[in-house]
Structure 1
Amino acid sequence: MSYVSEALLYVCFAILTGTLILRVVPEQRRPEIHIPSWLLLVCALAIPVLEYVPIHDSAVLFARDTDVTYGEMVKSILLDLNNGKAWIWSAVASVGLAFLLGLPSFRNDKHMPKVSLFIMFLLILWLGYASHATSLYGTKGWLVHSAHFLAVTVWIGVLMIASWFSASGRNWEAFLAWFSPLAIGCMLITFIAGITLMTFTTPQYVNSWMLPYGQMLLLKHLLLAPLLLFAYTNGFGYRNKLKVNSGFNPLPWLKAESIIALLLFIVTGVLGQQTPPHNVKETLQGVSPSKLFTTVYNGHFSPDLSLKLSIGLDSILMLAAALVMIYGLIQMYKENKILPAFVMGLLTTVFGYFALMFGVG
């Protein structure tokens, strides 16, 4: 349940942030967007509900192992722990945001998106305050995690809304003129903040692949490959496609990119509920190894195992297959064949995964 709630939480943040950013942008510089008001209201009200799920799970677990009741345990979490304090402030802000979005007189006010965006920024800061990085590294972890989530939410949020709720193909060139640089900036912040977070939570990156957390982190990184390929073709190939074919429609390609982003959210949701392996050997004493790892790994598993990457024939063949898929995706984009390109994008991740897993020993 926590995995699902975490992924849905990220989707709610993306929908709200993407919609509000696009409403701030002048009409002539964005596609015509029609998104139901009820959907925004549901997303705002869902945030505190979805953020409460891990608090509920922790309270049930601790209450079962102690003599403390569920209610007392929830009270203790809300008043004493970072994630509990953050939830209180998030609940207040989310209800306030829902009130503003549902108020007809304010919904059509030109300042509404700016005020609502400020509330979303606060919600992102509070989500960062409840993170593992904050509990381990204080203010530094809080700022890095918040920057990472903010960049991803802005990038994916605008992408999702523009691709799924666009009513027409007008203003696409004007839209991409500002969205492409914004997306590149968000990508750079995401990579820098992500690498920094890894130094906090996963200093033993390759060894972490033995754990569920490490496997999810690896899949997350590998999903970035097709996402970046689609982002590049959509951001830089669009104008060239228009020169060749004036009737080219970018919407299906943007939708494919957003679906891969949604998969990334799902993997990140699973990742957020796993134990970060600050020391893999110590973590394995209390956490079972990943079933996916033990299934794919060729050698004999042991908690004392130290993984190293090496190049073998199997790895080379899988890597070659991944490169073929990348080439095929680019060719399918040139021929405007969306389904084969999407499948090849996912296969890039699959072959890349096996290339790395076959190379550990």
Structure 2
Amino acid sequence: MEILVIISQVLLYLCFSVLAGSFLLMLVPRHYRPELNIPKSLLLLSAIGIPIFAFIPVWDIILFIAPRLGLMESIKIVLTTYTAGTAWDFTLLVSIVLVLLIIFTKSTEKTLFAYLGALLTFGSIFTVAWSSHAGALNPQIGIISDFIHLVAVSIWVGVLLIMGWFSNNHENWLKFLSWFSIVAFSCLSATALSGLFMMDVIVDGYIDSWMVSYGQGLLLKHLFMLPLLFYALVNGLIVKYKISKNASFNPTPWIRLESFILFAIFTITAIFSQQPPPHGNYLTNEAISPLFRFFNDAPIDINSTVGFVVNSNTVIFFFLTVLLLGLMVLSFFRKAPILLSFLFSCLLVASIFTMLMVTIVVR
């Protein structure tokens, strides 16, 4: 069931991104972006998918208590008294309105449709933030931070996905990149700040949290920000320069690559968000990550902390990291397939992660 929950959360984030990106781009005048062909069926499937995928974690809770109370009674209790259940009730309500909006809106009402669609999408994101880990620990800061975090990432990923896969031509790419660079930087800033607030609520000691699965997932998510920033700079600076010198240059592969990395971050977020957060007395033998144990078999108790000692393995992985970074740069200038560039990005993250793990000592 845990794997199903993880998959559902990845798809839920994808639905949010498709809707947020689509509605935002509909509000952008055509002379500031390439021509788009966004299938109405894609918007409809995304809107229908939100309550379905958001329900999977709720169903997991229902199945957990059903052996004691019975299935129907468990459904009733979870949907009426649990935060996750009542939040999903509102998710369903907002999604129904969004589905009806998509079905019945005429093509002549595009601007109003985009405004209302964006409002309803952000409303459904708020209902999901309401039932988050951060929201449970601190309802005010946690819910607002998670909401801003999800909105910022959904806009960033959504615009990249729609532009990368549904643009019809290369016209106005320079104008698009000019304003989107500002949007991407704003989303990055909002994501970073809201992430710091959520970490303050959820995580007791960022580096020490690396000993448990939630902390390691958080670390991997942050490490994937490095190739993301690299390709964001590529799209914001180098690609803009190449288009200004050669109007026929096709930036689509690099837009798609940036969206791939963001999707990888979505997947990691979905995986570690299903783990208990490192809050309170979380350092028990059962809580220690098997992956952390693979690198460090030192005894760990509730008072253990993480330190760093540079060794020969650290140096080896440092040079491997530099090599992979060079290959990422080379893959851009040699116009390598985007899957190869994405592979180099994943290997870069794996190398930095391993370098940190082999450098750790438990005190």
TM-score normalised per structure 1: 0.93
CA contact (8 A) 2:327 2:344 kept: yes
State the match for 1:300 in structure 2.
298
Structure 2 Cα separation of the partners of residues 107 and 270 of structure 1: 42
- RMSD between superposed Cα atoms in Å: 1.8
Partner of 1:111: helix, strand, or coil?
helix
State the match for 2:75 in structure 1.
74
Structure 2 Cα separation of the partners of residues 128 and 191 of structure 1: 16
Question: Once the 2 structures are TM-superposed, how far is the Cα of residue 38 of structure 1 from its aligned partner?
Answer: 1.1
CA contact (8 A) 1:9 1:51 kept: yes
Partner of 1:204: helix, strand, or coil?
coil
CA contact (8 A) 1:222 1:353 kept: yes
Question: Once the 2 structures are TM-superposed, how far is the Cα of residue 20 of structure 1 from its aligned partner?
Answer: 0.6
CA contact (8 A) 2:318 2:355 kept: yes
Structure 1 residue runs of 5 or longer lacking an equivalent are none
Partner of 1:308: helix, strand, or coil?
strand
Partner of 2:75: helix, strand, or coil?
helix
CA contact (8 A) 1:6 1:269 kept: yes
Question: Once the 2 structures are TM-superposed, how far is the Cα of residue 342 of structure 1 from its aligned partner?
Answer: 2.7
Q: Is residue 324 from structure 1 mapped to residue 323 from structure 2 by the alignment? A: yes
Structure 2 Cα separation of the partners of residues 358 and 11 of structure 1: 34
Partner of 2:300: helix, strand, or coil?
coil
Any residues of structure 2 matched to 1:253-264 within 5 Å, and which?
Answer: 253-264=254-265
Question: Once the 2 structures are TM-superposed, how far is the Cα of residue 195 of structure 1 from its aligned partner?
Answer: 1.6
State the match for 1:359 in structure 2.
359
Structure 1 Cα separation of the partners of residues 337 and 36 of structure 2: 23
Question: Once the 2 structures are TM-superposed, how far is the Cα of residue 330 of structure 1 from its aligned partner?
Answer: 2.2
State the match for 2:350 in structure 1.
350
Partner of 2:351: helix, strand, or coil?
helix
CA contact (8 A) 1:100 1:107 kept: no
Q: 1:18 to 1:233 in 2, by over 3 A?
A: same
Q: 1:327 to 1:244 in 2, by over 3 A?
A: farther
CA contact (8 A) 1:253 1:338 kept: no
Partner of 1:300: helix, strand, or coil?
coil
Equivalent position amino acid for 1:218 in 2:
L
State the match for 2:249 in structure 1.
248
Question: Once the 2 structures are TM-superposed, how far is the Cα of residue 54 of structure 1 from its aligned partner?
Answer: 0.6
Question: Once the 2 structures are TM-superposed, how far is the Cα of residue 35 of structure 1 from its aligned partner?
Answer: 2.1
CA contact (8 A) 2:105 2:113 kept: no
Superimposed CA distance per residue, residues 148-186 of structure 1 (whole angstroms, 9 cap, x where no aligned partner): 111111111111111111111111011111111000011
Question: Once the 2 structures are TM-superposed, how far is the Cα of residue 248 of structure 1 from its aligned partner?
Answer: 1.8
Number of matched pairs: 356
Structure 1 Cα separation of the partners of residues 119 and 316 of structure 2: 49
State the match for 1:41 in structure 2.
44
CA contact (8 A) 2:285 2:300 kept: no
CA contact (8 A) 1:12 1:46 kept: yes
Partner of 1:259: helix, strand, or coil?
helix
Please, which moves more after superposition, 338-347 or 224-233?
338-347
Equivalent position amino acid for 1:55 in 2:
V
CA contact (8 A) 2:157 2:259 kept: yes
Equivalent position amino acid for 2:326 in 1:
Y
Structure 2 residue runs of 5 or longer lacking an equivalent are none
Structure 1 Cα separation of the partners of residues 276 and 285 of structure 2: 10
Structure 2 Cα separation of the partners of residues 19 and 254 of structure 1: 15
State the match for 2:97 in structure 1.
96
Question: Once the 2 structures are TM-superposed, how far is the Cα of residue 287 of structure 1 from its aligned partner?
Answer: 4.3
State the match for 2:22 in structure 1.
19
Question: Once the 2 structures are TM-superposed, how far is the Cα of residue 266 of structure 1 from its aligned partner?
Answer: 0.8
State the match for 1:32 in structure 2.
35
